[in-house]
Each structure stands twice: as structure tokens, then as C-alpha cells.
């Protein structure tokens, strides 16, 4: 058979490319003026724009620009390609803008996909793993749109324009006598690893590494191992590695620590009390309620009964008094965006001198606060509110489990005596809680129930217990008070048309509402029309499922059908709370948007304009949304490792769980203690299985059917702490 020859034009292109590269190599040190290079840049861009996105061959472009054989032309073309303004395709060169390409930054990577973001836009762009071209988080890339996935834009990486130094976490393993690096993200393949800088590293270690050589796919990267953190069977070591490469700053710079410590050392000065409302001797007792181990206490409350309803005070640590704009402390707080919590660890947004010290509302000490002072009617609705700079002295540090015991009548005499002065306020607050919950129901807010995990660690930091975090009246009481303060702050800003940062929860996307309707139909749960759902529509669904055996699955499905909440500069409302106005005002120690809002409201009550307020609110909203997503992802990954560590010594044991998810490769089963594992399709009885896309996995031969919400007896077969994966098999 005759061998096919390449077209003459293709051979000419290749030959010309080789000649151009040889010319560039010869003239690399030649003295070519910037004016010459800019001249050719202008000509190249002009002709490619005129081509309107159609490729122009190397020869045609050089001829039109009169640049054939000129080093200045070739340098101009190379620089434009490096800048992402021009793109080389198989059939020639195109103007990136005219071809629909856009520059973005890779924001997150998983093993089979990633995300990118366009500067100045809030939307995250989905990128399939095969389309990432080896790009790493922080890289500047050129993106080409390829459609949508679940209502979000999807793109492919055309080129990596600027590669950052990328640090990755993973585990060392030995393959065919050679040490390889198994990354936590990027890919499933082992990467070539240089361990020369850490000769003590061995297979099974959890390590940090730096990508020192890039390939066009993640599996082609080469890494240098920098640090051994411990065994990959240790959740603590794995979580530390994940945190270090997440992008969350782990160590405060020296100048930031110095600023915080100086502020804390100054304490409260006499001039700090000027124009503050003094609530230290208020007849309304002020107190905090938090978890027993909480150290960053950023909210306190007070309450009194009035002739027409209630007088509620929500007193928040005045962090904006200490963290000023244009300081190293403020820049660091915005970069961190939020405190990160997992297991027994905290990565704080602010240094401890502030978060656990001068800003924390400890009892029996004076603290500067920013207070929402609200009047409510008998139905628990806001009728009047104001915001004042205040100084308080908390009477007691309440603990949720102790407050819950007082409210449910199980507290002993010693506990009652310790809380004696605040018990009347607690009972009044609990009364308001019940009224507010009824009001929430009246306005149609859906009441979603989801299980949050709580972890028990031994003195070595090893997870020895996993359970469901229980919420009592105390938790709900504080939540309702904070919701009221947040709503009042949003109303205050909206009424005055202030540049602001709102907490926004959009209506569910149409395709997700349609999917929810399909699932409810298959579950046999009657539901209202979901073509244009309102909050009350979702509330009705949850109410109808209240006694259904698949109630947890319904709540999970409804939650997944909703949009994600984020921060925006326009008051678009909060669907999940059924509120037209909502923001985050109550946690400035641990969330930057709250700190930003304090700064805006502080200027407003002084009747001053905040410099560059529009720019600042946009920056705060974007930073708040991105850092929140980063924190949520990190917390989930870390908690997976701790759940796997808990199950390590339970291999071979049997458990009863429910099917919480189905895929075409297996079944996810969740145990009552929130531990989730997967039953692989390979371990099911031999058959051909058909997956309907969400609800059912059906064996076509023997007829065995697995449905969402079904109970299953499973045995723990395998645990991988490093990946956070738990494998179950079904017990016959």
C-alpha cells in the first residue's frame, strides 16, 4: 500500500516554521527596537481582526504584514501569542477576541475537572479534565467556550499563558521499584517524583511537592517532593496537606501580626468611647451563647418585653474599629475571606490577638461593639431598628448544651444557679424564637433539615468518633436573633441606597426545578407546579414529605435543586429564607463581607462617604464568594479524611445505611452517623445494570433494583484515609 504524503501546503508550513525558529534563535540577542516590534504588532492585530475569527496561514499573515524573514515581525508574533491576543491553530493564526476566546484564571482543580474565572465576573466556568491542558490553580489561561453544563458555562483551555509555581499535595508510592507521587487532585496516575531534597521520604508518606516540569496533561507533570507531613493513614497529616495547597494562607505575615498585637496591647482607650452608647450598665442583661470550646465570640444579645412586643439587641464585635482600610491587616483579612473550620482545627481570618482577644466578647470585660437595636411586634416582625456604636460588658458566656438543658427542663441546681441572672432573658428569647419560627412559616420559607457531622478526637488528634451534630433551642434562638440583625442591616442599606454587600440566594435554575419534579414524581410525592417555584412551593414539598420514609432523601434532593448563595452588590433577595433583603452582619471576626458591611454602616451612621465605596463593595463581594467556596471545599475534603480514619479499624464490620446517591459506577450509602461509603458496581451480583440518571439502578437480568432511599446492610471492605474514600459491599 502506498504511503500517504502530506499536502504540499502542510510541508511548506512546517519548513517555514523551522526557518522562522532558526531566525529567532540567530537574532535572540540582536538589538531590535520596541518601535519595530510594536509596528508589527499593530499590523498583525489589524489583519487578524479583519479576518473576523477566520484563521490566516503563516505565509499569508507574513505577506500581508510584510514581515517575511524579519526578526522583529517574528518577535511581535511570538509576544502576541504569549499575551493571548493571538492564537496559533492548525490552520493558521486567529485574533483571540474575534474567535471568542477569553482570558481567565484557574481557580480550582479536582481529579476529573476544574474551574476557571474571568476577572471581574462572578460566574465559575466548568472545564472537563481532558480540556485543562495541564493547567494548575493560579495559571492565566485562554478559554474557548464549548457550551453549558447544568446551567453553568463550560470551556476548554486553548493555551496556558502564564504558569505559576504550583504546589500540590499527595502520597508517595512505589511502582516497579521507583518512587512515584500520587496527587490528591490533578489525575489518577502516578507522577514522576524527585525525592532528592527529602531523602527520608518513603512510600506511604503524605507529602507536599512542587511541579517543576509541565506537560500538556496533568499526568505528564514532574514534581519535586518538598516536605513530609506524616503517614498518609493519618487524617491530621492529610488535612494539613490539603490545607497547605488549598490557597488558604496558613501563616500570618510578621507585619500583620505586629499590627494586631499592637491594637490588642492598646486595649480600649478613653477616646474610643467617644460618641458610643454605653450599655455596660443597661437594665437589659447582655450575654453570649456559643459552643463550649469557642474562643472567637463575635455576637452577644439582650432582650426585654415591651408593651407592644420585644426589644432585642444584637451586639457584634466592632472589628472595623480595629481593622482599618488600606492596612496590611485588612489586605490579609480580604485574602483569607473567611475562617476555615474542620474537626478540631481553625484557620482564622484574623490573628488571635484580635479574634480570640480584644475583639472577642468575653464575659466581665469591656468590649467595643456595633449594635443592632430592634423593636418587634407581638408577631415577631421588625417595626423599628437602628445601628449604634456601643460599649458592652457581657454577663456570662453561655454554652449551647447548658442553655438547652435549662430550656428543656433538664438542668441541675448548680447549672440553674450559675445562669440565674440570665434565665429570664433566655426564656424570653426562647419565646421570641417560637414566634419567629411561626413567622418564617407564614412567609413560606422552606425549613430544610441536613445532618452536620461532629468529630471526637483523642489526645493524638486521631478520630475516634463521628456523629450527628444536634441542634437544640439554644442554637435556634441565636440563629433567629442573627437573622433579624442581618435583615435589619440589609433594609437599612437598601432604604439609603448605600453601596453594599448583600447575601443573595437566587431562585432555583429551571432545569434543576424540572429535575426535582421528576424525582418527586418517581418517589410518589405530590407536589405543586415547579415551573416557576416560590419559597412556599418548596416549603409545601417538605411539609408533604414530613412523614415519608424517604424524608432525608427529599430534603437532600430539594437542597441540591437550589442555587448556591453568594455575595453580590445588588439586593436580589434570599430565596431560602423568603426574604427580600438579607446580608451578613453578625460575624466580622470570621467573615470578610461582614467586616466590609460594618465599615460601610459605620460611615453611614457618621454621615460620611466611604472612599471608593463602589469598588470596595465589588471587591468584598467577589472575595467573599470565592473564599467561601474555597473554604467549603477544603472543609469537605478534610472531613472525608477524618471519617475514613474513624472507619479504619472497622473493616469487616457490618452496618445498616440508606442509599444516598446512585451513579453508573456504583451506589453511595450513608450510615446514621453521617459516614458515607460507596458500593462499587463491580461488587454487585453479575448482571447488566441500567441507571436512570438519578433514582434507580436496575439489574436487567435477575431484576434486582436499587433505589434512592432504600435501606441496605453493608460491610466495610476498604478504607483509604489519604483520599477520604470508604468502600462498602452489600451483605447478602
Residues 320, 466, single domain; the answer is yes
Do 79 and 176 lie in one domain? The reply is: no
The pLDDT tens digits for 355-377 are 999 999 999 999 999 999 999 99
Predicted confidence (pLDDT) at residue 24 exceeds the cutoff of 80:
no
Higher-pLDDT residue of 554 and 150 is: 554
Q: Which of 10-14, 370-374, 546-550 has the lowest mean pLDDT?
A: 10-14
Angle between the 423-442 and 400-408 helix axes, to the nearest 10 degrees? 90
Dihedral pair phi/psi, residue 551, rounded to 5°: -50, -45
Q: In angstroms, rounded to a whole number, what is the distance separating the alpha carbons of residues 296 and 584?
A: 17
Is residue 655, in this structure, part of any structural domain at all? yes
Q: What is the pLDDT of residues 421-473, one digit of tens each?
A: 999 999 999 999 999 999 999 999 998 888 889 999 999 999 999 999 888 99
Phi-psi region of 720 (alpha: psi -120 to 50; beta: other; left: phi over 0): beta
Per-residue cell: 580:
427580600
Closest-CA residue to 291 (of 280, 299, 303, 283): 299
Residues 384, 424 within the same domain? yes
Give the model's pLDDT for residue 19.
55
Whether 419 and 479 map to the same domain: the answer is yes
pLDDT digits (tens, 9 = 90+) for 195-252: 988 989 999 999 999 999 998 888 899 999 999 999 999 999 999 999 998 889 999 9
- Residue 719 pLDDT: 95
Q: Which grid coordinates are listed for 510?
A: 429551571
Residue 500 resides in a domain: no
With CA atoms as reference, report the closest residue to 284 among 310, 309, 262, 266: 310
Q: Label residue 302 by pLDDT band (50, 70, 90).
A: very high
79, 120: one domain: no
Q: What is the three-class DSSP state of 609?
A: coil
Number of residues that make up the chain: 732
Contact (Cβ atoms closer than 8 angstroms) between residue 316 and residue 298 = yes
Q: Are residues 156 and 183 in the same domain?
A: no
- Judge if 343 and 470 occupy the same domain: yes
Residue 646 CB neighbours (<10 A): 24
The string of DSSP letters for 7-29 reads: PHHHHHHHHHHHHHHHHHHHTTT
Q: Are residues 287 and 421 in the same domain?
A: yes
SS3 286: coil
pLDDT of residue 518: 84
Taking residue 327's Cβ as centre, other Cβ atoms within 10 Å add up to: 14
**Model pLDDT, residue 292:** 85
> Residue 184 sits in a domain of what CATH number?
2.40.50.640
Residue 80's pLDDT band (boundaries 50, 70, 90)? confident
Q: How many domains does the chain have?
A: 6
What pLDDT is stored for residue 25 in this prediction? Answer: 56
* Backbone torsions φ then ψ of 465, nearest 5 degrees: -160, 140
pLDDT above 70 (res 186): yes
pLDDT reported for residue 63: 84
Is residue 206 in a domain? Answer: yes
Pairing outcome for strands 676-680 and 725-730: parallel
* Mean pLDDT, rounded, of the chain: 89
**389 against 2, higher pLDDT:** 389
Q: Which of the 8 DSSP states describes residue 296?
A: -
pLDDT at 305 over 60: yes
Q: Choose from 86-90, 440-444, 704-708 the range with maximum mean pLDDT.
A: 440-444
d(CA 300, CA 112): 45
CA torsion sign for 674, 667, 185, 150 is negative
245 assigned to some structural domain = no
pLDDT score for 4: 47
Strands (E), 92-221: 92-95, 102-109, 113-117, 124-128, 140-149, 152-162, 167-175, 178-183, 191-194, 205-213
Q: Quickly list DSSP for 373-442.
A: EEEEETTS-EEEEEEEEEEEEBS-EEEHHHHHHHHHT---HHHHHHTTTTHHHHHHHHHHHHHHHHHHHH
Residue 332 — very low, low, confident or very high, per pLDDT cuts 50/70/90?
very high
Pairing of strands 167-175, 205-213: antiparallel
Residues 414, 313: one domain?
Answer: yes
Instruction: For residue 222, give its domain range.
Output: 167-232
**Which pLDDT band holds residue 702 (cuts at 50, 70, 90)?**
confident
Task: Indicate whether 293 and 345 sit together in one domain.
Answer: yes
Q: For residues 311 and 717, give the distance between their C-alpha atoms in angstroms, rounded to a whole number.
A: 57
Pairing type for strands 382-393 and 366-377 reads: antiparallel
Winning range, highest mean pLDDT, from 12-21, 27-36, 351-360: 351-360
Cα radius of gyration rounded to whole Å, the chain: 30
400 and 323 fall within a common domain: yes
Is pLDDT at 28 greater than 80 in this prediction? no
Residues 47-70 have a mean pLDDT of 82
pLDDT at res. 300: 97
**Residue 291, φ and ψ in degrees, nearest 5:** -65, 155
Report the relative pairing of strands 382-393 and 277-278 from DSSP bridges. Answer: parallel
Residue-wise over 487-508: b if at least 16 C-beta within 10 A, else e? bbbbbbbbeeebbbbbbbbbeb
Question: Where among 520, 536, 561 does a domain terminate?
Answer: 561
Q: 261-270, 297-306, 410-419, 544-553: which range is least confident on average?
A: 544-553
pLDDT of residue 22: 57
Torsion of CA 296, 422, 452, 514, to 10 degrees: -110
| pLDDT for 187 beyond 90 | no
Looking at residue 496, its pLDDT comes to: 94
Considering only CA atoms, which of 89, 100, 85 is closest in space to residue 44? 85
Contact 65, 41 (CB under 8 A): no
Element (H, E) at 239: helix 235-245
Q: Inter-axis angle of helices 328-336 and 592-605, to 10 degrees?
A: 130
Q: Establish if 626 belongs to a structural domain.
A: no
Confidence of residue 544 (pLDDT cuts 50, 70, 90): confident
- Domain ends where: 162, 190, 211? 162
Please check whether residue 435 lies inside any domain of the structure. Answer: yes
C-beta of residue 381 within 8 angstroms of C-beta of residue 677: no
Q: Give the rounded percent of residues in the chain with a pLDDT score beyond 70.
A: 95
pLDDT of residue 1 exceeding 50: no
**CB count in 10 Å sphere of residue 29:** 6
CATH number for the domain harbouring residue 148: 2.40.50.140
pLDDT band for 21, please (50, 70, 90 cuts): low
Q: What is the spatial distance between Cα 304 and Cα 564, in angstroms, rounded to a whole number?
A: 36
Query: Measured between alpha carbons, how far is 456 from 74 in angstroms, rounded to an integer?
Result: 63
Domain ends where: 200, 232, 264? Answer: 232
- Res. 3 pLDDT band, cuts 50 70 90: very low
Kindly state whether residue 316 falls inside one of the protein's structural domains. Answer: yes
Higher per-residue pLDDT: 80 or 592: 592
> What confidence category does residue 618 fall into, taking pLDDT thresholds of 50, 70 and 90?
very high
pLDDT of 2 = 45
Local structure of residue 218 (DSSP, 8 states) = G
d(CA 674, CA 554): 16
- What is the per-residue pLDDT for 12? 57
DSSP 668-714: EEE-TTS-EEEEEGGGSPSS-EEE-SSSEEEETTT--EEETT-EEEE
Helix axes 400-408, 473-495, angle to 10 degrees: 110
User: What's the whole-number mean pLDDT along residues 37-59?
Assistant: 84
DSSP 79: H
What CA–CA distance (Å, rounded) separates 235 from 724? 9
Range of 3-7, 18-22, 426-430 with top mean pLDDT:
426-430
Helix (H, G, I), strand (E, B) or coil at 85: coil
Confidence of residue 285 (pLDDT cuts 50, 70, 90): very high
Residues 68 and 32 in one domain: yes
Residue 403 has pLDDT above 70, yes or no: yes
Residue 716 grid cell: 466495610
Q: Is residue 610 part of a domain?
A: no
Amino acid at each position: 500500500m502506498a504511503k500517504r504524503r502530506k499536502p504540499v501546503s502542510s510541508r511548506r508550513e512546517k519548513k517555514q516554521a523551522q526557518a522562522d525558529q532558526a531566525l529567532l534563535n540567530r537574532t535572540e540577542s540582536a538589538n531590535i527596537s520596541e518601535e519595530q516590534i510594536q509596528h508589527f504588532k499593530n499590523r498583525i492585530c489589524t489583519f487578524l481582526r479583519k479576518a473576523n475569527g477566520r484563521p490566516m496561514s503563516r505565509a499569508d499573515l507574513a505577506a500581508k504584514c510584510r514581515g517575511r524573514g524579519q526578526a522583529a515581525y517574528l518577535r511581535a508574533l511570538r509576544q502576541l501569542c504569549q499575551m493571548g491576543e493571538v492564537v496559533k491553530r492548525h490552520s493558521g493564526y486567529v485574533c483571540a477576541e474575534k474567535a471568542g476566546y477569553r482570558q481567565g484564571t484557574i481557580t480550582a482543580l479536582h481529579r476529573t475537572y476544574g474551574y476557571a474565572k474571568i476577572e471581574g465576573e462572578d460566574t465559575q466556568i466548568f472545564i472537563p479534565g481532558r480540556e485543562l491542558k495541564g493547567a494548575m490553580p493560579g495559571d492565566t489561561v485562554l478559554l474557548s467556550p464549548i457550551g453549558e453544563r447544568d446551567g453553568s458555562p463550560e470551556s476548554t483551555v486553548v493555551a496556558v499563558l502564564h504558569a505559576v509555581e504550583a504546589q500540590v499535595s499527595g502520597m508517595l508510592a512505589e511502582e516497579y521499584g521507583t518512587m512515584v507521587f500520587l496527587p490528591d487532585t490533578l489525575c489518577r496516575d502516578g507522577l514522576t517524583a524527585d525525592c532528592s531534597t527529602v531523602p527520608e521520604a518513603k512510600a506511604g508518606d503524605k507529602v507536599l511537592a512542587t511541579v517543576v516540569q509541565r506537560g500538556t496533561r496533568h499526568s505528564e507533570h514532574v514534581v519535586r517532593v518538598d516536605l513530609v507531613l506524616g503517614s498518609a493513614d493519618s487524617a491530621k497529616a492529610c488535612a494539613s496537606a490539603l490545607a497547605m495547597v488549598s490557597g488558604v494562607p496558613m501563616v500570618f505575615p510578621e507585619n500583620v501580626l505586629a499590627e494586631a498585637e499592637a491594637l490588642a496591647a492598646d486595649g480600649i482607650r478613653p477616646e474610643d468611647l467617644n460618641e458610643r452608647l454605653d450599655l455596660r450598665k443597661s437594665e437589659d442583661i447582655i450575654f453570649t451563647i456559643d459552643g463550649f470550646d469557642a474562643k472567637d465570640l463575635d455576637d452577644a444579645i439582650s432582650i426585654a418585653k415591651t408593651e407592644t412586643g420585644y426589644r432585642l439587641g444584637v451586639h457584634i464585635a466592632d472589628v472595623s474599629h480595629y481593622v482599618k482600610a488600606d492596612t496590611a491587616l485588612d489586605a490579609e483579612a480580604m485574602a483569607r475571606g473567611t475562617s476555615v473550620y474542620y474537626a478540631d482545627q481553625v484557620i482564622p481570618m484574623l490573628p488571635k490577638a484580635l479574634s480570640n482577644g480584644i475583639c472577642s466578647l468575653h464575659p466581665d470585660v469591656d468590649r467595643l461593639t456595633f449594635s443592632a437595636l430592634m423593636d418587634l411586634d407581638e408577631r415577631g416582625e421588625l417595626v423599628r431598628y437602628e445601628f449604634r456604636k456601643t460599649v458592652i460588658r457581657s454577663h456570662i458566656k453561655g454554652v449551647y448544651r447548658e442553655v438547652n438543658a435549662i430550656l428543656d427542663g433538664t438542668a441541675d441546681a448548680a447549672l440553674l444557679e450559675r445562669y440565674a441572672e440570665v434565665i429570664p432573658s433566655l426564656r424570653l428569647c426562647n419565646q421570641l424564637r417560637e414566634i419567629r419560627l411561626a413567622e418564617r412559616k407564614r412567609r413560606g420559607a422552606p425549613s430544610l433539615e441536613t445532618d452536620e457531622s461532629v468529630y471526637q478526637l483523642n489526645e493524638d488528634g486521631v478520630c475516634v468518633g463521628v456523629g450527628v451534630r444536634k441542634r437544640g433551642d439554644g442554637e435556634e434562638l441565636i440563629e433567629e436573633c442573627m437573622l433579624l440583625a442581618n435583615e435589619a442591616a440589609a433594609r437599612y442599606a437598601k432604604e439609603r441606597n448605600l453601596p453594599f454587600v448583600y447575601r443573595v440566594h437566587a431562585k432555583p435554575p429551571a432545569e434543576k426545578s424540572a429535575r426535582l419534579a421528576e424525582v418527586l414524581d418517581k418517589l410518589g410525592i405530590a407536589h405543586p407546579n415547579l415551573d416557576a417555584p416560590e419559597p412556599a412551593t418548596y416549603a409545601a414539598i417538605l411539609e408533604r414529605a414530613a412523614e415519608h420514609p424517604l424524608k432525608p432523601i427529599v430534603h437532600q434532593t430539594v437542597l441540591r435543586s437550589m442555587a448556591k448563595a453568594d455575595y453580590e452588590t445588588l439586593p436580589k433577595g434570599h430565596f431560602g429564607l423568603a426574604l427580600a433583603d438579607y446580608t451578613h452582619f453578625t460575624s466580622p471576626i470570621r467573615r470578610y463581607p461582614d467586616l466590609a458591611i460594618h465599615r460601610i454602616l459605620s460611615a453611614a451612621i457618621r454621615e460620611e462617604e466611604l472612599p471608593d465605596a463602589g469598588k470596595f463593595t465589588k471587591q468584598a463581594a467577589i472575595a467573599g464568594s470565592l473564599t467561601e467556596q474555597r473554604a467549603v471545599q477544603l472543609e469537605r475534603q478534610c472531613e472525608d479524611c477524618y471519617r475514613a480514619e474513624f472507619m479504619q479499624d472497622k473493616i469487616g464490620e457490618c452496618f445498616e445505611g440508606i442509599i444516598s446517591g446512585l451513579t453508573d459506577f456504583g451506589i453511595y450509602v450513608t450510615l446514621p452517623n453521617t459516614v458515607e461509603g460507596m458500593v462499587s458496581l463491580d461488587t454487585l451480583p453479575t448482571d447488566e445494570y441500567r441507571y436512570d440518571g438519578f433514582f434507580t439502578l436496575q439489574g436487567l437480568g435477575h431484576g434486582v433494583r436499587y433505589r434512592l432511599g432504600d435501606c441496605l446492610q453493608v460491610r466495610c471492605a476498604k478504607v483509604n484515609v489519604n483520599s477520604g474514600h470508604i468502600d462498602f459491599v452489600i451483605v447478602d
